[in-house]
Amino acid sequence: MLFIAICDDEENIGVELESILIDILSKLKVKHKIDVFFTGDELGKTMDAGAHYDLIFLDIELSKNESNGVEIGQLIRDAHENYVTSIVYISWEKKYALQLFDIQPLNFLIKPLTQENIEKVIRKYLKIAWLWSGEFAYKIGHDTFKVHIKEIIYLESRGRKLILHLVSGKKPEFYGSIKGAYQEQLHKYDFLFIHASYAVNYDHISVVKYNELHLADNSTVLPISPKKRNEVRERYYTIMKRRMR
């Protein structure tokens, strides 16, 4: 089931977008539930109450008397610490690109919206969602555990132990080889093996620099080893180009 929210203070656009999404998702045979909001505050309150959305179409120019789309996006990423929900911004103007950098939207659509462009976004999201639906398996003693790929920020090697850093804040530890875990499980899910001690989920990366990598939480910085710098940059941009198709 795909849970989608639409938030646009222009009621006709919200209703039209809902109709287009229903048509596309029905054609693709994707089960879905769509909620439509006409104010950013209403969407914010609904999410504060515990509602979860996989994908949000969010207007930037909401009413001047309430939170705008950028502020709602920051609320989702920072206050809710939600880096998993995909956000697609919609606007009449193209001027907001730099303001949206830290929010890491899935896409940016210019009004008037077209079914072709919306379907491209949906197909792009479904490709990413397929990656996220995968699971990483690990053993503690005789017990085997699984965690969804989208929940993993990065895997760390410390001595003989591996540590999973999860979106929830939990950090399960287990014995194993980070190289083996990367080659056998994580590589196919777009992780970057940046250092002998770190394998990082592409979807939780905000900035890649020459010798370090910044995570989307804006506070964690991980080193890129000298031997891996070229490899990491090439893989990062290869994934980025593939995701943009």
User: Is pTM, for the whole model, over 0.75?
Assistant: no
User: Which pLDDT tens digit goes with each residue over 126-169?
Assistant: 877 776 678 999 999 999 999 988 889 999 999 999 999 998 88
What value, to the nearest 5°, has the Cα angle with vertex 124 and ends 119 and 130?
125
Select the more confidently predicted residue: 163 or 62.
163
Nearest by Cα to 1 from 37, 36, 52, 59: 52
Average per-residue pLDDT for the chain: 89
Task: Give all domains of the chain, ordered by start, each with its CATH number.
Answer: 2-132 (3.40.50.2300), 135-243 (2.40.50.1020)
User: Which pLDDT tens digit goes with each residue over 175-207?
Assistant: 999 999 999 999 988 999 999 999 999 988 988
What phi and psi, each to the nearest 5 degrees, are found at residue 19? Answer: -65, -45
> Tokens in use for 93?
């103007």
pLDDT of residue 79: 75
Indicate whether 98 pLDDT > 60.
no
pLDDT of residue 50: 86
Instruction: Calculate the CA dihedral of residues 225, 147, 145, 50 and round it to 10 degrees.
Output: 140
Burial label, 60 (beta-carbon count in 10 A; 0-12, 13-18, 19+): buried
Indicate whether 104 pLDDT > 80.
no
SS3 of 140-174:
ECCEEEEEEHHHEEEEEEECCEEEEEECCCCCCEE
> Tokens in use for 50?
């515990």
pLDDT of residue 134: 83
Instruction: Collect all residues with Cβ–Cβ distance below 8 Å to 63 and sequence separation of at least 6.
Output: 9, 39, 40
Looking at residue 75, the DSSP 8-state letter turns out to be: I
pLDDT band of residue 216 (cuts 50, 70, 90) is: confident
Q: Is 95 helix (H, G, I), strand (E, B) or coil?
A: coil
- How far apart are the C-alpha atoms of 117 and 33, rounded to whole Å? 20
User: Which pLDDT tens digit goes with each residue over 112-130?
Assistant: 999 999 999 998 888 777 7
